[in-house]
């Protein structure tokens, strides 16, 4: 529900604040006073396109802010899907800057207009005579019938099953297309795979091959240096080993003269042990030096092949070749064993389709059973609003394929008068009739599902007298289930509201501004009386206004 609306610098509005109750709120005012401007500002805050010409003062910022109470709507998941933090009290704010740039915020988080519109659609349901055209849209009729049948959760389950089926179907189609492509080029792919597999690739192989080749290429130099190292370490009396051993024995004699000498002796001993280990490794390396031209040739050829394959597959390292090898293995497997690869997916798809079809059949059965009852309920409601002979028929046709709304094709046929043939609603019903039909349908839906805030803009146009009273009573009933904001010219409806807001214009020497005021007590009596009898409030009009309010 809407808690409040703040509008600054928009059209004829300088700065107004509107607060609403949780049931029936009425907005009244003379034609041209600015009631539609309030609705346009709300639409702006819900994500409609910004128009710089609507800014009152082009040098100042236009701001529209709406506070919603959303805890009763169970839309936490929608916030999550839109990547927004859920707040029970949610602020929508729209700004138009002097530069013409538009900004949108939800709970002070910048959002794009799609996010704002998608969430706003769940919070506010606006109806004007033009917007009753939704009555002729198939989605609206399915929602109506499924809400009345208490089968919305069944429809949700069906749509999940349908989504599973379509997802698996898409995977299978993609897989089959990949198999066709793999089979068409199987011989070439197999040849490329064999090339890679012959190298027995693994991570690090290139570095190992390059190191081995480098050692073979410089074997003579390595042998000479290792031989020189052995001489330096092991030369009799003058070699590092003998000299370090002499130093070690000498310093060991100082160990008893202090801790610092003992530490020094220990360090020399560690160096001597390390040198002894180095000498052992130098000897091993020297003995294992290889002069093998055949091995060098093999390594060079393997590396040459490796480099060539990297260039061929446009990769820079062995990891890239391993990825290509894995890709080719999968492609070749698809071509060589296509049926077994797709069999599992095909079985899953058939099971998912069967489940979706069963749920669609359940949904269709419930709809067929409840449709006559709903038709009678709509006709009964319209009878109260002066359309005693209106009749409705839900015409069911079986679809050959599963759609998002099931396997039923439903037409909503209407007859306004006795003896009149049934036909499509949009071809037979007038604008006033569509308004009354919408009002009845919303009253029925309010009893079967949680609705967002309903805003009805002069939906009572063309109605008067007893029918106006009946419409007022019906709107009052709706407001007991969901917040209702009615913009009206009818005193019968205005007097029924729990909250009454008047929108009016004031003109001085240079400007015209729109204002809004919550009416209570004497002010409200006078407003109702003026709606009954014009600006000159007579005693009779005043008494009639008091009677309506009581």
Per-residue pLDDT at 139 exceeds 90:
no
129 Cβ contact partners less than 8 Å away, ≥ 6 residues apart: 431, 432, 434, 435, 458, 459, 461
- pLDDT, position 138: 66
Grade residue 512 by pLDDT with cuts at 50, 70 and 90. confident
**CATH value of 1-128+453-519 in 3.40.50.300, 3.40.50.2000, 3.40.50.2300, 3.40.47.10:** 3.40.50.300
Per-residue pLDDT at 168 exceeds 60:
yes
Closest CA to 149 of 409, 445, 480: 445
Grade residue 182 by pLDDT with cuts at 50, 70 and 90. low
Tell me the three state secondary structure of residue 82: coil
Closest CA to 149 of 526, 447, 423: 447
- pLDDT, position 156: 92
- pLDDT, position 496: 92
Per-residue pLDDT at 320 exceeds 90:
yes
Q: What are the backbone angles phi and psi of residue 129, rounded to the nearest 5°?
A: -60, -35
Average pLDDT over residues 428-449: 81
Per-residue pLDDT at 315 exceeds 70:
yes
Residue whose token pair is 């050959």: 400
- pLDDT, position 34: 81
Calpha distance 524→244 (Å, rounded): 112
Q: What is the DSSP string of 440-485?
A: HHHHHHHTTS---EEEEESTTTT--HHHHHHHHHHHHHHHTTS-EE
Q: For the chain, what is the mean pLDDT? A: 87
pLDDT winner (highest mean) among 259-273, 387-401, 498-512, 526-540: 259-273
- Look up the pTM and report it: 0.64
Looking at the DSSP bridge assignments, the partners of residue 515 are 504
Neighbour tally for 544: CB within 10 Å: 17
The residue ranking higher by pLDDT, 365 or 31, is 365
Average pLDDT over residues 403-412: 88
User: If you count them, how many residues does the chain have?
Assistant: 550
201, 205, 206, 208: CA torsion to nearest 10 = -160
Per-residue pLDDT at 314 exceeds 60:
yes
Closest CA to 104 of 77, 64, 76: 64
Per-residue pLDDT at 125 exceeds 90:
no
Kindly list the domain boundaries of the chain, sorted by start residue: 1-128+453-519, 149-367, 520-550
Which of 7-16, 182-191, 301-310, 441-450 bottoms out in mean pLDDT, i.e. has the lowest? 182-191
Calpha distance 319→407 (Å, rounded): 51
Average pLDDT over residues 479-498: 91
Closest CA to 438 of 497, 490, 478, 388: 478
Per-residue pLDDT at 424 exceeds 60:
yes
Per-residue pLDDT at 405 exceeds 60:
yes
Neighbour tally for 472: CB within 10 Å: 25
- pLDDT, position 135: 63
Calpha distance 524→472 (Å, rounded): 17
Here the tokens at position 219 are: 């074997």
Model confidence pLDDT, tens digit, residues 268-292: 899 989 998 998 999 898 888 888 8
What percentage of the chain exceeds 70 in pLDDT?
Answer: 96
């Amino acid at each position: 529900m809407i808690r409040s609306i703040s509008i600054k610098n928009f059209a004829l509005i300088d700065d107004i604040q509107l607060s609403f109750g949780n049931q029936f709120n009425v907005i009244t005012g003379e034609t041209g006073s600015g009631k539609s401007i309030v609705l346009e500002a709300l639409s702006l805050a819900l994500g409609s396109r910004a128009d710089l010409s609507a800014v009152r003062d082009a040098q100042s910022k236009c701001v529209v802010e709406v506070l919603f109470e959303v805890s009763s709507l169970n839309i936490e998941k929608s916030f999550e899907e839109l990547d927004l933090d859920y707040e029970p009290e949610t602020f929508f704010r729209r700004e138009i800057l002097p530069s013409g740039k538009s900004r949108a915020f939800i709970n002070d988080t910048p959002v794009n207009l799609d996010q704002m519109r998608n969430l706003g659609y769940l919070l506010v349901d606006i109806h004007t005579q033009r917007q009753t055209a939704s009555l002729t849209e198939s989605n609206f009729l399915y929602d109506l019938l499924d809400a009345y049948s208490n089968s919305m959760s069944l429809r949700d389950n069906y749509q999940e099953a349908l989504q599973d089926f379509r997802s698996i179907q898409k995977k299978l189609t993609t897989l089959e297309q990949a198999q066709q492509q793999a089979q068409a080029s199987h011989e070439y792919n197999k040849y490329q795979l064999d090339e890679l597999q012959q190298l027995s690739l693994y991570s690090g192989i290139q570095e190992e091959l390059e190191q081995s080749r480098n050692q073979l290429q410089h074997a003579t130099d390595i042998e000479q240096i290792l031989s020189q190292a052995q001489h330096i370490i092991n030369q009799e009396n003058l070699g590092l080993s003998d000299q370090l051993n002499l130093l070690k024995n000498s310093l060991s004699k100082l160990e008893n003269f202090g801790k610092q000498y003992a530490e020094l002796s220990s360090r020399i001993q560690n160096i001597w042990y390390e040198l002894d280990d180095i000498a052992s490794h130098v000897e091993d390396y020297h003995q294992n030096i290889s002069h093998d031209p055949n091995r060098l040739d093999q390594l060079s050829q393997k590396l040459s092949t490796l480099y060539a394959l990297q260039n061929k597959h446009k990769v820079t390292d062995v990891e890239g070749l391993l990825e290509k090898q894995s890709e080719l293995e999968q492609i070749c497997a698809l071509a060589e064993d296509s049926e077994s690869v797709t069999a599992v997916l095909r079985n899953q798809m058939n099971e998912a389709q069967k489940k979706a079809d069963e749920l669609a059949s359940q949904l269709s059965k419930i709809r067929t059973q409840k449709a006559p009852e709903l038709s009678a309920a709509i006709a009964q409601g319209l009878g109260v609003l002066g359309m005693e002979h209106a009749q409705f028929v839900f015409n069911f046709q079986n679809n050959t394929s599963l759609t998002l709304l099931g396997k039923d094709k439903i037409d909503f046929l209407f007859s306004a008068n006795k003896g009149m043939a049934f036909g499509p609603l949009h071809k037979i019903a007038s604008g006033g009739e569509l308004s009354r039909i919408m009002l009845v349908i919303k009253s029925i839906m309010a009893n079967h599902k949680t609705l967002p805030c309903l805003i009805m803009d002069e939906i009572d146009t063309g109605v008067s007298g007893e029918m106006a009273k009946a419409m007022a009573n019906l709107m009052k009933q709706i407001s007991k289930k969901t917040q209702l904001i009615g913009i009206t010219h009818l005193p019968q409806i205005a007097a029924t509201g729990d909250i009454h807001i008047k929108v009016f214009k004031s003109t001085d020497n240079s400007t015209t501004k729109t204002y809004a005021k919550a009416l209570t007590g004497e002010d409200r009596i006078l407003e109702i009386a003026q709606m009954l009898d014009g600006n000159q409030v007579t005693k009779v009009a005043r008494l009639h206004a008091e009677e309506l309010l009581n």
